[in-house]
Amino acid sequence: MDAHTTRGSPARGERTSLPGSGPDGSFGIRFESIGGLGAHLAGQILAEAGVLGAGLNGSHFSSYGSEKKGSPVRSFVRFCPADREIRASDPIERPQVVVVFHQALIASADVAAGLVPGGTIVVNASASPAELHERLGLGDVTVGALDGLKIALEESTRLNSAMLGATARVCELVDSDVIREALAARLGRRYPDLVDANVRSFDRGYAELRLETFAAAHEALREPERPKPAYGYLEAAIGGTIVAPGSSVVRDLSASREGFLPALDLDTCVHCGLCDIVCPDLCFVWETEDAGAVRLRGIDYHYCKGCLKCTQACPTGALTEIREEEGWAEANRVALYPWLEREVSVS
């Protein structure tokens, strides 16, 4: 079902139109995520359930750059009635449903761009639907909030099962039992021991989703994001030049974290430096005292991607793994480049 149309089986009844579909007769679901959270697999399972179990025509494909944890991922699912062919294979710019797997994406990308008026957006967040509606600047939409990470931790599963359950709740085109069956069948082929736990996560995601519908408070529709060329032929950089190196001091890795980060207790820290040796992103901030001793001051969470290698290397337990709560990293951050902070505030 990746990037092509599939004829659905009419075993459970065919539809001649889909409620809420767009002008082209299709119904679009867009997953906004990062690598490692399972959005691609969730899209595959949803499309498979719609095609094989609900008698729809459907297509699925994902868009991502480097295939690694923390990199942005978008997964797209289109559904049409069984009597209509799907001819499009482009990204879904006017989705009826958007599902955001990572709350930090709200700050780093316009995840709601193109969401149709009256559509639904679901976010993996502990915040309330009203708070999310205000933060996203949304209009006439339904907002869903689900603490999917909590469910995944308690059930020892990946996040995607809980988010798939929430998607089943808001996407009524495909019966939730059909999606649950598709999930169990897909996992049962390779990981039969994981089926029960993931089905529980699915059911909890469905049941624990908090939904609220809002009247227009902001603009009704934001234009979808379309990548534009960074340069034209007149201002293009010399060939081979890396104009935005990965080591740039302005990069922000906070959106790469999968919900966990290291917490530092300076009272138990012995300033041995093992954390700094294993940290791939130089997040630790050190200072030299008058006597010449070098001591750890804190962590710049702006550059921390949550790999947690430091917590494994720490010999005293001064660094521990905690679940990231909104605002915690900013409140406990020690700036690695204070001069950069001053320049940004002045500009």
DSSP state of 255: G
Asked whether residue 346 carries a pLDDT value surpassing 50, the answer given is no
Query: Contact 145/123 with Cβ under 8 angstroms?
Result: yes
Asked whether residue 15 carries a pLDDT value surpassing 60, the answer given is no
Q: What is the pLDDT of residues 276-316, one digit of tens each?
A: 999 998 899 999 988 888 999 999 998 898 999 999 999 99
Q: Give CATH for domain 10-213.
A: 3.40.920.10
Average pLDDT over every residue of 73-90: 90
Report how far apart, in Å, the C-alpha atoms of 78 and of each of 88, 94, 179, 210 are. Answer: 9, 11, 15, 25
CA distance linking residue 116 with residue 262, whole number of Å: 39
Write the DSSP assignment of 111-174 as a string of letters: TTTTPPTT-EEEEE-SS-HHHHHHHHT--S-EEEEE-HHHHHHHHTS-HHHHHHHHHHHH-TTS
Would you kindly state where each structural domain of the chain is located, as residue ranges? 10-213, 254-346
Q: What is the pLDDT of residues 228-260, one digit of tens each?
A: 666 676 776 666 665 555 555 666 777 778 888
Q: Which tokens hold the place of 243?
A: 């104009």
Asked whether residue 10 carries a pLDDT value surpassing 50, the answer given is no
Handedness of CA 146, 208, 78, 42 (dihedral sign): positive
Residue closest to 311 by CA, chosen among 322, 296, 324, 298: 322
Report how far apart, in Å, the C-alpha atoms of 106 and of each of 134, 136, 322, 327 are. Answer: 12, 7, 21, 13
Of 32 and 221, more confident: 32
Asked whether residue 3 carries a pLDDT value surpassing 50, the answer given is no
- pTM score, two decimals? 0.77
Q: What is the pLDDT of residues 120-143, one digit of tens each?
A: 999 999 999 999 999 998 888 999
Query: Contact 303/282 with Cβ under 8 angstroms?
Result: yes
Residue closest to 313 by CA, chosen among 257, 270, 253, 273: 273
Asked whether residue 103 carries a pLDDT value surpassing 60, the answer given is yes
Q: What is the pLDDT of residues 315-341, one digit of tens each?
A: 999 999 999 888 899 999 999 888 876
β strands within 155-239, DSSP E: 210-213
Percent of residues, the chain, with pLDDT higher than 90: 56
CA angle 209, 211, 215 (to 5 degrees): 165
CA distance linking residue 168 with residue 152, whole number of Å: 17
Q: What pLDDT is recorded for position 225?
A: 67
Q: What pLDDT is recorded for position 6?
A: 42
Residue with token string 């736990």? 197
Q: Give the CATH fold of the 254-346 domain.
A: Alpha-Beta Plaits (3.30.70)
Asked whether residue 64 carries a pLDDT value surpassing 90, the answer given is no
Q: What pLDDT is recorded for position 192?
A: 93
